[in-house]
Structure 1
Amino acid sequence: MISLSMSQKIKLAIVAGALATSSLAYAQQKDGLECRYLTVIEQGFLANHVKYSVRDSELQTRVVEQYLKRLDPSKIYLTQPDIDQIKKITNNVFDKTKNKDCAFLDQTQKIVLERVKDRLAFAKLYLGKDFKFDPATEFTFDPEKKAWPKDTAEANDYLKKYIQFQIGNYMATDMKMEEAKKNVIKNYERAVKRTQDTTEDDLYSGYLDSFARALDPHSSFFSRDVLEDFEIQMRLSLEGIGATLSSQDGFTVVEQLVPGGAAAKSGLIEPQDKIVAVGQEKGPMENVIDQDLKDVVKKIRGAKGTKVRLTILRKTGDGKKRMDVTLVREKVSLEDDAASITFTEKEVGGVKKKLGIINFPSFYADSRRGGRSSAADLKKIIKEANEKKADGLVLDLSTNGGGSLEDAVKIAGLFFQTGNVVKQSSKNEGRAEAALRDTDPTVDWAGPLVVLTSRISASASEIVSGTLQDYKRAVIVGGDHTYGKGSVQSVLPIPNDLGAIKVTVGMFFIPGGKSTQHRGVDADIVLPGPFSTDDVGEKYMDYSLPPKTIDAFLSPEAYVKEGPSAWKEVKTEWVKSMKDRSTERVAKNEEFKKIVDELNKAKARGKVIRVSEVLKDKNEKEKKDKAKKTASKAKKNEEYLKRPDIQEAESVLLDLILLQEGKALLPLKQASAK
């Protein structure tokens, strides 16, 4: 999830407090992090964090817990004795960093390396000639729901089950047993290599990120590479070849081509191509098999107008084709992540209605002069909807994890006159919350509005949906409630290009006075959704901050009763009527029935799962994902509009249009909606 940013000036921000101290200026002597900077950067987090100000024993315990999770997130390498030993090594960790003693990082890394080597040796032994695949294997897949293995024997016993799962994954792709075994062994060999190749900079970054995540779920440390990726997502543009890449079995694989990018325009690159070597305009080609994806991406990205050479491996029938390609890097616009609108026509009561469906995947914003922003894009989209005389709009935030706070305020204001959108608390508890207002008196869209949400709609999405609900400006349709992230983060770059800290600087409140923290925004009309499970939401995250409530701060000037900008408040009786009709439609919808069945199946599984069931679900998902990746933009949009929640949101919008027109809703069996 892209974090909610307090300001769009991420490149110009100066880290307050400790990060501005002169000691960090010594970074100019070395290209990278050093042990002596850790305490200074820790203090930068504490100087800005909304809740924590000191390094106490509770925070120290949390840091170690997060660090252990980072070392072995799947709990397949370390044993309980290893955990006990690492806890001894990291005892009084704040004293160690304060005294510029980072030996504990090397010591723990050595323990991890030994265990990774141990599991590789066991995997080779277990996958010998006597190995038999057993799809009936049952095991606890979620590391959060199992303890660390008590000894090596228990670790190896779990690894047997995990390897069964890995073998099944490969065989499910029609791979032969012996090749699957080789691939699994290569996975563990790569794990050894990655652990051996861990740099000092990686160790420091990992520790600092553990420190940040011990404060709350949304504070984190950005290394230089991570900061670059964050800025790309916020700008929706980068300079490179225009391809989405992934790492599969040691290969860098082309997942998707960005329309209009260098790779797509060349006609020489195809999805599922494997990049096995990379070279710049001059110089040798470098083999990139088994390299970390981030390192390969770093080699491929570059300034606009420069050339990059790639060696491609492509599957052709039963064989493979090797080819060399030279591409000129270009500025790439990530249009798939940008706001867009699709118009549909529906007939209800013998009358055709034009509906606009706005796919709004993130609150992006480029802080550079003239940079692109989601608020400006949405304003243009709404202008188009008015010009095409749309009768109503669906604003789809169901996959939107958040982004720019400034844009969220502007976007909420597109649908009413002027007034308060959100209040933000600060680190100083004695200071009143700061109100953020929409100051543009233009009502860009005054017509009927439905906002579609889900359990993964978060942060800025919750500000917009919660604000529009509090002003009775829109009907909220979707998951039972949104994610529940009611905190604000600021991204503060560290001097001398050492990365950045992303730190929670406040909590936000919507106009009704409630925080969205934990509770989220309740849907007016609830639809079954794939994310409506008991473990999706802010309240299930480690160390999530507690919710609060303040007095309501709704602005009377937001409402417009007369004239072309007048908009109608959503009435309680309307919601009840629309909810009853939606419940009836959903009960008859086969796609919603499938979603409910899948949710019930997942709940019945509990902690223990069967390899065959996981593989079946995974196969179906991978087939769908592959179809999405290779589909044209038109095909993707067609599939998007077929989603049951999109179609039901349209049906609710049609009901809302009729109600705002003062017309009675026909019983469903008499209504005609095509």
Structure 2
Amino acid sequence: MLIKILSFSLLISSAAYGQQFTKSLDCNWVDPIQTGFLQNHLSMKQKDKDLQARVIEQYIKRQDGAKMYLLASDVEKIKTSMKSVFDDVAKTECKFLNEVQEVLVKRVEERTEFVKKHLSAKDFKFNSETEFVYDPQHKVFATTSDEANEFVKKYIQFQVANYLATDIKMEEAKQRVIKNYERNLKRIKETKQETLIANYLNSFALSLDPHSSFFSREYYEDFTIDMSLSLEGIGATLSQEDGFTTVEALVAGGAASKSGLVKPQDKIIAVSQKNGKMENVVDMELKDVVKMIRGPKGTKVKLTILRKEDGSNKKFDIELTREKVALEDNAVSIYYQDREVDGVKKKIGIINFPSFYADSKRGGRSSAADMKKIVAEAKAKKVDGLVLDLSNNGGGSLEDAVKIGGLFIKTGNIVKQSSRREGMETPLADSDDKVDWNGPLVILTSRISASASEIVSGAMKDYGRAVVVGSDHTYGKGSIQTVIAVPGELGALKVTIGMFFTPSGYSTQLRGVESDIVIPTQYNVDDIGEKSMDYALPAKKIDSFISKDAFVDKGESAWSVIKPEWINKIRTRSAQRVAKSEDFKKIVDELEKTKKLGKTIKVSEVLKEKGEKEKKVKKSRYGSKDEKDKEYLDRAEIQEASDVLLDLISLQTGKDLSLTSNSTTTKK
């Protein structure tokens, strides 16, 4: 949950102003930035031995999270090197950064050489029965290089299998795996000092709580784009695989789409520089390629494209004029369904709400404004009910969450925000007395619904305004972050400054929002949720602050409070539908497989399932808009949320109809 952007100058002590800060992120910045975090964090206020131990743990995890490169002795050496890390940083030396980097480079070189030798050996045999511990949480660091190499032997069987499952021949698969290790080694060797410092600062932030972090200058730029839903560039979503920058999708209305010259799955192998010369970008980090392609509206960029066509590779150059692009894939949208239940026609609206975005610039786009327009449109079309899909929504703007909650009640509290001072919670309320939608409402959630999603779903549940359908509970991120820019565009601090509470007085922190109607979803696994995160803040409870003015029991704006007996009836009917559904059976089966794979993985299972999953991913990435819309509406969770809404409509209108027909016409 992000609320505002502050000036960094408010955070650093007067003594810090005397330092000569450079225009790049160097060690001089580290101590003031750490101080900035502690001056603003909700609960962590000073450097001590406990915090230092956390920082060291997080930094080691960042260096080798998979526990594949470093040895146990290396880890002890790093701990020794960092035992007085706060003193080292305060002296603006940061010696440990290079010491740790040297150890890591050495071990990555060793593993890379072993992989090359092992895969190039004539006696290499692929063994689909290989089984190994996959989850780092269930592993320990190897004690010797031989022990580390034994794990790598098993792991590269898995990596080779990933390629074989996509119809790539054995020799090419082995070469691709080798190339991946070489590419990783090259990336680590070329890591700049500024990146090492940013990585350390992020480790420091994560030692405070799971949601504080340090944004490097590149990441901060991406964050700003995501929040504003616009950027200036060619309008293409890019990914990287095997060293190639690949076009995943084209943004409708963007320069690439309008030109007709770029297609999904095209590879960008060169980009023009400011001097007009083409620079090869194969094996270049994706963030650096993206930086070269982005640019001010109206400027031109040349790209060299590699396209697989008619069984052969075609290479050609194109020139595009950069434009301002709206990122519509993350914007609020609505689908309409015409349903017939026991001969009675009903029209429902399904609102896909992937993020709470807000452009801080004057006149910028916001999810609340977009949502208000969509609700008005749905009302004009005389829909009988709405499904608000927050199942893939990780949160965003607090202000927009409050406004969106206010669309469904008259006036009143939506959330309370705590601060570093105990008992000083600040209520945030809807002051607009218009009830934009007073009809039946179902909110679909999952274990990845977080932050602002939990505010809206929690508030609507507390007021009895909506039926919440989804996973057993939402993510459990009940904390609030603010973003503080570092001068000179060197990055930003994202720091946890408070906790939020829904009107019943419960924080959603750790516990999340429990669903009224629980259905299987692909995210119902133990390692998804706040409780699985390092240093998660504990849950809290304050007095209820439900507002009487939220309720309207008569007149045009009257809305019905959800009754417990309705929930009981809907729960029974939903369980019956889920039990008969083949789609939900598949979800449950996949969840069981995922749980089994939590500790170990068997290569033969990769070969069995990878190919089919790859086809689904490609269809999702590269399909037409109509295909993507159909895929979205065909999701078992969407269908069940729609059926729950029809049950609710029947109960609220006093005409308790059974769902005997499922004939659907979809419009958008």
User: Do they fold alike, i.e. is TM over 0.5?
Assistant: yes
Residue in structure 2 matching 1:23, options 2, 17, 21 = 17
CA contact (8 A) 2:31 2:89 kept: yes
Partner Cα distance (1:181, 1:338) in 2: 41
User: Aligned pair 1:179/2:172, yes or no?
Assistant: yes
Q: Secondary structure at the match of 1:264?
A: helix
Instruction: Name 2:39's counterpart in structure 1.
Output: 47
- Equivalent residue runs for 1:69-148 within 5 Å: 69-127=61-119, 128-148=121-141
- Alignment CA distance shift 1:139-1:439 (3 Å): same
On the 8 A contact 1:24/1:495 being kept in 2, the answer is no
Distance 2:226 2:168 in 1: 36
For 1:148-187, what aligned pairs fall within 5 Å after superposition?
148-187=141-180
Give the Cα separation in 2 of the matches to 1:372 and 1:24.
40
Percent identity reads 59
How far is 1:375 from its partner? 0.3
- Deviation at residue 601 of structure 1 after TM alignment: 2.2
* Distance in 1 of aligned mates of 2:656 and 2:211: 47
Q: Deviations over 1:539-558 (max 9, x none)?
A: 00000001010110000000
Partner deviation per Cα, 1:503-552 (whole Å, 9 max, x = no partner): 00001100001011111001000100110011110000000001010110
Residues 399-421 of structure 1: per-residue CA shift (max 9 Å, x gap)? 00000011001000100000001
How far did residue 19 of structure 1 move?
6.6
Aligned partner of 2:17: which letter? S
Deviates more, 1:302-311 or 1:14-23: 14-23
Of 358, 367, 380, 1:374 maps to 367
1:318 matched residue in structure 2 = 311
| TM, length-normalised to structure 2 | 0.97
Per-residue deviation, 1:24: 7.6
**In 2, Cα distance between the equivalents of 1:39 and 1:602?**
42
Give 1:306 shift. Answer: 0.2
Alignment counterpart, residue 3 of structure 2, candidates 6, 15, 21: 6
Question: Counterpart of 1:672?
Answer: 661
* Shift in Å, 1:673: 3.8
Contact kept, 8 Å, 2:385 with 2:649, in 1: the verdict is: yes
Gaps of 5+ in 2: 664-668
Partner of 1:358: 351
What displacement does 1:318 show?
2.6
**Alignment deviations for residues 59-94 of structure 1 (CA, whole Å, 9 cap, x no partner):** 100101110111112211111011111111111111
Distance, in Å, in 1 between the alignment partners of 2:407 and 2:471 is 24
Partner SS for 1:54? coil
Q: Partner letter of residue 347 of structure 1? A: E
| Residue of structure 2 equivalent to 1:545 | 537
Q: Which residue of 2 aligns with 1:36?
A: 28
Aligned-residue Cα RMSD (Å) equals: 1.3
Q: Is 1:529–2:518 an aligned residue pair? A: no
State the alpha-carbon separation in 1 of the partners of residues 106 and 637 from structure 2: 49
Mapping of residues 613-632 of structure 1, within 5 Å: 613-632=605-624
Which one of the candidate residues 445, 454, 465 is aligned to 1:462?
Answer: 454
Question: Structure 1's 100 and 282: CA in aligned 2 closer, same or farther, altered over 3 A?
Answer: closer
Maintained 8 Å contact 2:415/2:427: yes
How big is the shift at 1:195? 1.0
What is the deviation of 1:22?
4.8
Once the two structures are superposed, the pairs formed by residues 53-452 of structure 1 within 5 Å of their partners are 53-127=45-119, 128-280=121-273, 282-429=275-422, 431-452=423-444
The one-letter amino acid of 2:391's match is S
Contact 2:486 2:493 in 1 (8 A): yes
Aligned to 2:501: 509
Determine the C-alpha separation between the residues in 2 that align with 1:497 and 1:408: 29
Shift of 1:616: 3.2
1-side partners of 2:444 and 2:269: how far apart?
42
Of 581, 588, 592, the match for 1:589: 581
SS at match of 2:482: strand
Q: Distance in 1 between matches of 2:275 and 2:77?
A: 49
Deviation of the 1:100 alpha carbon:
1.2
The amino acid across from 2:508 in the alignment is T
1:554 is matched with 546
Kept in 2, the 8 Å contact 1:479–1:527? The answer is: yes
* Residues 568/15 of structure 1: CA separation in 2 closer, same or farther (3 Å cut): farther
Whether the 8 Å contact between 1:15 and 1:492 is mirrored in structure 2 is: no
Deviation track 1:435-458 (CA, whole Å, cap 9, x = no partner) reads: 111111110000000000001100
Amino acid across the alignment from 1:401: G
Q: Take 1:250 and 1:672, find their aligned partners in 2: how far apart are those partners?
A: 51
Q: C-alpha distance in 2, partners of 1:24/1:546?
A: 39
User: Conserved in 2, the CA contact under 8 Å of 1:139 and 1:161?
Assistant: yes
- Name the SS for the 2:44 alignment partner: coil
Whole-angstrom distance in 1 between the partners of 2:297 and 2:18: 32
Secondary structure, in 3 states, of the residue corresponding to 1:506?
strand
Which amino acid in the other structure matches residue 267 of structure 2?
K
- The residue type paired with residue 437 of structure 1 is A
Separation of aligned partners in 2, 1:23 and 1:556:
50
| Counterpart code for 2:10 | A
Q: Distance in 1 between matches of 2:260 and 2:67?
A: 43
Aligned 8 A contact 2:162 2:606 in 1: no
Secondary structure of the residue that 2:3 maps to in structure 1? Answer: coil
Q: Evaluate the alpha carbon distance shift between residue 185 and residue 24 of structure 1 in structure 2; reply closer, same or farther with a 3 A threshold.
A: farther
Residue 14 of structure 1 deviates from its aligned partner by 4.1
- SS of the residue aligned with 1:362? coil
SS in 1 for 2:361: coil
Residue aligned with 2:186, SS: helix
Q: What letter is aligned with 1:193?
A: K
Q: Is the contact between residue 281 and residue 306 of structure 1 (CA under 8 Å) also seen in structure 2?
A: no
CA distance in 1, matches of 2:569, 2:348: 20
How far residue 633 of structure 1 moved from its aligned partner, in angstroms, is 1.3
In the TM superposition, residue 632 of structure 1 has moved relative to its aligned partner by 1.4
Please say if residues 165 and 610 of structure 2, whose CA atoms lie closer than 8 Å, have aligned partners that are also in contact.
no
**Aligned amino acid, residue 222 of structure 2:** D
Post-superposition CA distance 1:263-310 (Å, at most 9, x none): 111111111111111004642111111111000000000000000000
Amino acid at match of 2:537: L
Query: 2:14 & 2:650 partners in 1: Cα distance?
Result: 59
- Aligned amino acid, residue 661 of structure 2: S
Is the partner of 1:365 in helix, strand or coil?
Answer: coil
Aligned residues: 662
Counterparts of 2:362 and 2:130, CA distance in 1: 57
Please tell me whether the aligned partners of residues 14 and 20 of structure 1 are also in contact (alpha carbons under 8 angstroms): no
Gaps of 5+ in 1: none
Match of 2:534, SS?
coil
Distance 2:18 2:315 in 1: 48
Alignment-mate amino acid for residue 486 of structure 2: I
Q: 1:312 to 1:215 in 2, by over 3 A?
A: same
Matched, 1:485 2:482: no
CA distance in 2, matches of 1:403, 1:515: 17
Conserved? CA contact 1:449–1:473, under 8 Å = yes
**One-letter amino acid of the structure 2 residue matched with residue 5 of structure 1:** L
> Displacement, 1:196?
1.1
Do 2:387 and 2:442's aligned partners in 1 also have CA atoms closer than 8 Å? yes
CA drift of 1:116 comes to 0.7
Equivalent residue of 1:595, what SS? helix
Question: How big is the shift at 1:25?
Answer: 7.0
Secondary structure, counterpart of 1:26 in structure 2: coil
Q: 2 CA distance for matches of 1:202 and 1:236?
A: 26
Q: Which residue of 1 aligns with 2:591?
A: 599
